[in-house]
Amino acid sequence: MTCAVLAGCGAATGAGARVSGPASGDPAGSGVGVTTYPVGQRPTIPDLSGSTLGGSSLAISSLRGKVVVLNVWASWCEPCRAESPALARVARDTAAAGVRFVGVDEQDRPEPARSFAASAGTTYPHLVDADGTMLASLRLVPSSGIPSTLVIDGTGHVAARVIGAVDETTFERLVTAVAGTVASPAAS
């Protein structure tokens, strides 16, 4: 896992990207942390779309103009269980500012996933990634690195990436900072 995380960080972290130390509570050296991308150097992600746990369809591109927090999780993932209530609180606290949260339920069974999302208090949509193809298309997120979260600016570019669980205060500060900036297209 460490090699995959380091490879993912190396490929995703270009000139100008800022990597801060491990997320709160993370043991040093595990590869968990926050990467921020300056305006003008923000990478893009593919337009993820599909069915949600609630049975509707969703395309990330339909949220353009909003800051989108994309969190990859699974009901069987213990760190996901630990961070989910904080994500639900930050989602509620930032909704008035136009921030939208979307979960990506990774290789999970529908009933445990729905139960987990409800018990965590998440009211935002969760895309179903039963076979792992969505996660595989997200080059900024290591395939074995869940939970992982991308904060996408209003133009559809990644402003920040969190690999692993992060504490609520750090995460809320990160999301509100992105929501308060004017984004420009990524540099090529």
Whose CA is closest to 32, among 129, 137, 163, 130? 163
Lowest-confidence range among 8-22, 25-39, 66-80? Answer: 8-22
Q: Which helix (H) or strand (E) holds 78?
A: helix 78-94
pLDDT tens for 118-151 read 999 999 999 999 999 999 999 999 888 799 999 9
Kindly state the average pLDDT of the residues 112-118: 96
pLDDT tens for 160-176 read 999 999 788 888 989 99
Q: Please give the Cα distance from 96 to 26 (Å, whole number).
A: 31
> With the CA atoms of 51, 55, 57 and 60 taken in that order, what torsion angle do they form, in degrees rounded to the nearest 10?
-70
Q: Please give the Cα distance from 155 to 147 (Å, whole number).
A: 24
pLDDT tens for 68-77 read 999 999 999 9
Q: Which residue has the higher pLDDT, 17 or 38?
A: 38
pLDDT computed for residue 8 by the predictor:
27
pLDDT computed for residue 48 by the predictor:
95
Q: Please give the Cα distance from 63 to 11 (Å, whole number).
A: 26
Using alpha carbons only, give the angle 133, 138, 142 rounded to the nearest 5 degrees: 95
Looking at domain 2-179, its CATH superfamily turns out to be Glutaredoxin (3.40.30.10)
pLDDT computed for residue 170 by the predictor:
85
pLDDT computed for residue 10 by the predictor:
28
What is the band of 13 on the pLDDT scale with cuts at 50, 70, 90?
very low
pLDDT computed for residue 181 by the predictor:
65
pTM summary value: 0.81
pLDDT computed for residue 32 by the predictor:
64
